[in-house]
Structure 1
Amino acid sequence: MKRFVLLAQGMSTAEQKIWQHAGFDCVTATADNIDVVWVDRFRSSSARAKSLGVLLDPLGSKVFMVKKQLKTTFAFTDNWRTVYSWKEYTAGPASWVLGSKLETPLSEDMGALLSEQATAAFAESLYYYLLRDVFRETAEWCGHMSSVVGRM
Structure 2
Amino acid sequence: MEISNNSQLSSIYQSSKNQGVDTTHSNLLSNIDQFNNDSHADKVTLSQAGLDAETKLQEIASQYDPTNMSYSELTRMSSELQLNGLITPQQGLAMRAPPSRDFDADEKYDVLALARKSVEFNQSIGTAQNTDAKLRANVLNVLERLQSLKYRG
Q: How does the TM-score come out when normalised to structure 1? A: 0.25
TM-score by length of 2: 0.25
Q: Which of the two has greater strand per residue?
A: 1
Whichever of the two has the greater Rg, that structure is 2
More helix by share: 2
RCO (CA 8 Å, sep 6+): is it higher in 1 or 2?
A: 2
